[in-house]
Amino acid sequence: MTLAARLAPFVPVRLVAAAARSVYPRFEPELARLGDLCPPGCGTAVDVGGWYGPWTRRLSGRARRVVTVEPVPHLARLLAAATPGNVRVVHAAASDRPGTARLWLPPGDQGDRGVSSLVRRDIHARALNVRCLTLDSLDLHDVGFIKIDVDGGELAVLRGAKTLLARDRPALFIELEARIQPVGPVVSHLAERGYAGWVLPGATWLPLSSFDLEAHQARTSHVVAQGLLRRVLSFRGPGYVRYVNSVLFLPDGRRPGGRHAGDVRRARQVEPVRDDGGHASRRTG
């Protein structure tokens, strides 16, 4: 168990949530660059696996509406009480069918570590029953962006959003961990639907087709054991290695930042990443 996980039970939950929202852009730098992920004028953004709300909070300043799906009871209550008025919190797990399922957690964890999942693995020891639903069943409209962090249940979430994806063609930001599930099935599923992946290993977006994500994760797996706190505070000198575990999937030839891959001026270049942190922190009225 990491240091942060040991300390969390002794710290007020609202303080933990505020700290998580504050430091998370350093841990996941894509969060500070929402302009490259979430299209301008986004009507609805969806946060699947809200945790303490770092994505929900930033998205609430970028999209007109945010729908956050969170299965852990106390986290769903926290999000409902502490997020802006344009956020709707749904206490459930997103999957490919409605019903009830077992949400697995590590021993002694109430969901605060952010590794609960409908897919059981070796770190899990106990489970609680949670309601399941599909994103298609939420009757969402004008969806421009979906973030998915479900520790192994990615394909089920995508299958449960079949109609939504075909209709609105949103950008998708998905955490993919080869140590939990093979990456290939998700990539293939989305490729069949006209989506291509992009990753941010440094300061520049790279096509997933030119970046071996599974090999990278195997090579940098030691970073995962350091825990969130140590990874956030680590010195970022020449030897710094970032563990990449999230992929931006864009449809129909789109590129990070909203441009089309067919743009003659950009056709032979990789789009540089802009720091959109200031924009992302603004609220919409």
| Per-residue confidence (pLDDT) for residue 203, from 0 to 100 | 87
* Cα→Cα distances 150→159, 175, 194, 234, Å: 14, 8, 22, 26
| Per-residue confidence (pLDDT) for residue 114, from 0 to 100 | 85
- Phi-psi bin for 123: left (phi > 0), alpha (psi -120 to 50), beta? alpha
Q: What is the residue-wise DSSP string for the chain?
A: --HHHHHGGGS-HHHHHHHHHHHHHHHSGGGGGHHHHSPTT-SEEEEES-TTSHHHHHHTTTSSEEEEEE-SHHHHHHHHHHS-TTEEEEESEE-SS-EEEEEEE-TT-SSTTS--BSS--TT--EEEEEEEE-GGGG---SEEEEEE--TT-HHHHHHTTHHHHHHH--EEEEE--TTTS-SHHHHHHHHTTTEEEEE-SSSB-EEGGGS-HHHHHHHTGGGGGGHHHHHHHS--STT------EEEEEETTB-TTS-BTT-TTTTTSPPBPP--HHHHTPPP-
| Per-residue confidence (pLDDT) for residue 29, from 0 to 100 | 83
89-132 per-position pLDDT tens digit:
999 999 999 999 999 999 988 888 888 999 999 999 999 999 99
pLDDT for residue 52 is more than 80: yes
β-bridge partners, 199: 206
pLDDT for residue 222 is more than 90: no
Q: Which two tokens stand for residue 134?
A: 């599909």
With a pLDDT cut of 70, the percent of the chain lying above it is: 75
Between 264 and 112, residue with greater pLDDT: 112
pLDDT for residue 42 is more than 60: yes
| Per-residue confidence (pLDDT) for residue 281, from 0 to 100 | 30
When pLDDT is cut at 50, 70 and 90, the band that residue 278 belongs to is very low
| Per-residue confidence (pLDDT) for residue 244, from 0 to 100 | 93
* CATH annotation of 3-92+141-254+274-280: 3.40.50.150
171-194 per-position pLDDT tens digit:
999 999 999 999 999 999 999 999
pLDDT for residue 285 is more than 60: no
| Per-residue confidence (pLDDT) for residue 23, from 0 to 100 | 56
| Per-residue confidence (pLDDT) for residue 190, from 0 to 100 | 98
How many whole angstroms separate alpha carbon 90 and alpha carbon 199?
29
pLDDT for residue 264 is more than 50: no
Q: Are 112 and 16 in contact (CB under 8 A)?
A: yes
Domain boundaries, the chain: 3-92+141-254+274-280
* Average pLDDT rounded to a whole number, residues 227-241: 55
pLDDT for residue 263 is more than 50: no
| Per-residue confidence (pLDDT) for residue 16, from 0 to 100 | 55
| Per-residue confidence (pLDDT) for residue 96, from 0 to 100 | 97
With a pLDDT cut of 90, the percent of the chain lying above it is: 65
- Tally the C-alpha atoms within 13 A of residue 196's C-alpha that lie toward its C-beta: 14
* Cα→Cα distances 223→176, 234, 256, Å: 16, 11, 26
* Average pLDDT rounded to a whole number, residues 73-85: 93
pLDDT for residue 271 is more than 60: no
pLDDT for residue 137 is more than 80: yes
When pLDDT is cut at 50, 70 and 90, the band that residue 279 belongs to is very low
Q: Are 160 and 58 in contact (CB under 8 A)?
A: no
Mean pLDDT of the chain: 83
